[in-house]
């Protein structure tokens, strides 16, 4: 019994005539594009004999296959992340040698491409808020999906930046899909818990929030409170006092304006106590959570969200993907 050190050393153990015959068959099959049946007739042997020779050509390293395509790295990364984190689907946009704005646009396009088909197979969709989702809806083509009902997962009444809020995003997407939408007539963030509780005492608001917990799909963004372009800080929802509180509580990100720590748990903080929207624990029960993120500054937040179960379909850029692959 022989022990072969590697596939190239094994070639030397082939009979010279057999080796030549295998190379001839490989040339017929891979270079001249003959079928196994045609080669068998040409050489007056059986088709299984041709099949065995082609397998030997692979086993003995006579032929090697290479995938020469720039998308290979990304496709391989997608598959690896799906397996590593048990995700249903990972979609990655290229990020290297591109500006942040270009990468963001590519992530949005990937999300649009995925959702164009995915929305047709569900009945209800919960929608969060933010720049990513607002841009996604703006880029979304007109597509007739009349059976669909949209639901905001967080309040969205505001005098400023209305295009970023969930109600407006639902309304804009409803027009593009010719579908139905409910609206949550409450702000995303109440001034205090008394005001928040007053909204929660309203049956119409409770009805929408309950429906939001039971949607077939949720479309969400994720953010880091510490990034320089954080939206909640820009529009005045959070300030320095909140940042200090987040640091004390080991906050790494937020989804649906619900801030979570390194363990993926919602923290007990001012913002979380006053948000009018579906909680992360309820979001976790939604069958398909589509989480969309662009920008390396969101990497830790995305990693924590994925490990905590806040994503089934993940649409990200390549740098975030590599971070997830390199970290546990």
Sorted by where each starts, the structural domains of the chain and their CATH numbers stand as 7-59 (1.10.10.10), 72-326 (3.40.50.1360)
Residue 90: enclosing H or E segment and its boundaries?
A: strand 89-93
pTM attached to this predicted model? 0.81
Residue 123: enclosing H or E segment and its boundaries?
A: none
Share of the chain residues as helix, strand and coil, in percent rounded to the nearest 5: 50, 15, 35
Residue with structure tokens 């290479």?
66
Environment class of 111 (CB within 10 Å of its CB; exposed 0-12, middle 13-18, buried 19+): buried
**Given this model, what pLDDT does residue 269 score?**
96
Distance between CA atoms of residues 73 and 70, nearest Å: 7
CA dist 244 to 38, 86, 256, 261, Å?
A: 74, 34, 20, 14
**For every one of its 328 residues, what pLDDT tens digit does the chain have, with 9 covering 90 and above?**
333 334 444 444 567 778 888 988 998 998 899 999 999 999 999 999 999 999 998 888 888 776 655 577 898 999 999 999 999 999 999 998 899 999 999 999 999 999 999 999 999 999 999 999 999 999 999 999 999 999 999 998 666 678 899 999 999 999 999 999 999 999 999 999 999 999 999 999 999 999 999 999 999 999 999 988 888 888 888 889 999 999 999 999 999 999 999 999 999 999 999 999 999 999 999 999 999 999 999 999 999 999 999 999 999 999 999 999 999 7
């Amino acid at each position: 019994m022989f022990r072969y050190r590697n596939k190239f050393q094994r070639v030397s153990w082939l009979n010279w005539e057999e080796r030549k015959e295998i190379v001839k068959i490989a040339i017929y099959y891979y270079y001249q594009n003959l079928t196994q049946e045609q080669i068998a007739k040409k050489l007056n042997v059986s088709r299984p004999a041709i099949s065995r020779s082609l397998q030997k050509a692979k086993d003995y390293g006579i032929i090697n296959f290479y995938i020469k395509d720039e998308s290979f790295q990304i496709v391989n990364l997608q598959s690896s992340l799906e397996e590593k984190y048990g995700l249903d689907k990972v979609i990655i946009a290229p990020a290297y040698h591109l500006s942040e704005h270009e990468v963001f646009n590519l992530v949005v396009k990937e999300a649009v491409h995925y959702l164009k088909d995915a929305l047709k197979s569900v009945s209800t969709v919960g929608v969060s808020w933010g720049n990513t989702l607002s841009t996604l809806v703006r880029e979304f083509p007109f597509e007739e999906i009349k059976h669909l009902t949209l639901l905001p997962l967080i309040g969205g009444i505001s005098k400023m930046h209305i295009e970023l809020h969930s109600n407006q995003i639902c309304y804009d997407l409803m027009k593009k899909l010719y579908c139905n939408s409910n609206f949550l007539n409450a702000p995303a963030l109440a001034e205090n818990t008394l005001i928040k509780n007053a909204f929660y005492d309203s049956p119409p608001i409770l009805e929408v929030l309950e429906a939001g917990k039971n949607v077939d799909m949720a479309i969400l963004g994720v953010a880091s409170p510490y990034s320089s372009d954080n939206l909640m800080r820009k529009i005045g929802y959070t300030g320095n006092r909140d940042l200090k509180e987040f640091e004390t509580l080991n906050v790494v990100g937020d989804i649906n304006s619900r801030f979570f720590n390194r363990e993926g748990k919602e923290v007990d903080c001012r913002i979380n106590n006053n948000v009018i929207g579906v909680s992360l624990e309820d979001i976790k029960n939604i069958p398909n959570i589509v989480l969309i993120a662009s920008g390396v500054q969101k990497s830790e937040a995305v990693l924590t969200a994925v490990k905590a179960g806040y994503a089934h379909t993940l649409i990200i850029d390549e740098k975030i993907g590599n971070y997830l692959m390199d970290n546990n």
